Amino acid sequence: MNREKAKLMQAEVCDIAQKMYRSGLVAGTWGNISARIDDDYMVITPSGMDYERLYAEQMVIANLHTLEYEGNLKPSIETIVHAAIYRDRPEINGIMHTHSTYALTVATARRDIPPICDDQVQILGGSVRLAGYTRPSTQEMADEVIKALKDRTGALIANHGAITIGRTLSEAFIGSQVLEKAAMVYINSQCIGGPVEICQEDIDFYHDFFLNKYGQK
Ligand SMILES: [Zn+2]
Residue 20 C-alpha to ligand 1 middle, in angstroms? 14
pLDDT at 49: 80
- Let me know if residue 35 belongs to a domain: yes
- Let me know if residue 19 belongs to a domain: yes
Residue 195 C-alpha to ligand 1 middle, in angstroms? 28
CATH number at residue 27: 3.40.225.10
Residue 32 C-alpha to ligand 1 middle, in angstroms? 7
Residue 137 C-alpha to ligand 1 middle, in angstroms? 8
Residue 15 C-alpha to ligand 1 middle, in angstroms? 20
| Long-range contact pairs involving 183-188 (C-beta distance under 8 Å, separation at least 24) | 183/100, 183/102, 183/103, 183/105, 183/106, 183/113, 183/128, 183/156, 184/102, 185/116, 185/117, 186/106, 186/113, 186/114, 186/116, 187/102, 187/105, 187/106
Residue 31 C-alpha to ligand 1 middle, in angstroms? 6
User: How far apart (Å, rounded) are the C-alpha atoms in residues 53 and 150?
Assistant: 35
- Let me know if residue 23 belongs to a domain: yes
User: How far apart (Å, rounded) are the C-alpha atoms in residues 84 and 86?
Assistant: 6
- Let me know if residue 217 belongs to a domain: no
Residue 161 C-alpha to ligand 1 middle, in angstroms? 6
Residue 100 C-alpha to ligand 1 middle, in angstroms? 10
pLDDT at 48: 84
Residue 65 C-alpha to ligand 1 middle, in angstroms? 21
- Let me know if residue 178 belongs to a domain: yes
Residue 78 C-alpha to ligand 1 middle, in angstroms? 7
Residue 157 C-alpha to ligand 1 middle, in angstroms? 9
Task: Print pLDDT tens along the chain (217 aa).
Answer: 899 999 999 999 999 998 888 887 776 667 899 999 999 999 999 998 887 788 999 999 999 999 999 988 999 999 999 999 999 999 999 999 999 999 999 999 999 999 999 999 999 999 999 999 999 999 999 999 999 999 999 999 999 999 999 999 999 999 999 999 999 999 999 999 999 999 999 999 999 999 998 776 5
- Per DSSP bridges, beta strands 129-131 and 154-157 are parallel
- Let me know if residue 138 belongs to a domain: yes
Instruction: Report pLDDT digits (tens) over 173-185.
Output: 999 999 999 999 9
Residue 193 C-alpha to ligand 1 middle, in angstroms? 32
Cut 0.85: pTM above it: yes
Residue 186 C-alpha to ligand 1 middle, in angstroms? 22
User: For residue 98, what are the domain limits?
Assistant: 3-212
Sign of CA dihedral 68, 69, 71, 73: negative
Which residue type sits at 78?
Answer: E
Residue 16 C-alpha to ligand 1 middle, in angstroms? 17
User: How far apart (Å, rounded) are the C-alpha atoms in residues 60 and 54?
Assistant: 12
**What's the total number of domains in the chain?**
1
Residue 30 C-alpha to ligand 1 middle, in angstroms? 7
Residue 202 C-alpha to ligand 1 middle, in angstroms? 32
- Let me know if residue 185 belongs to a domain: yes
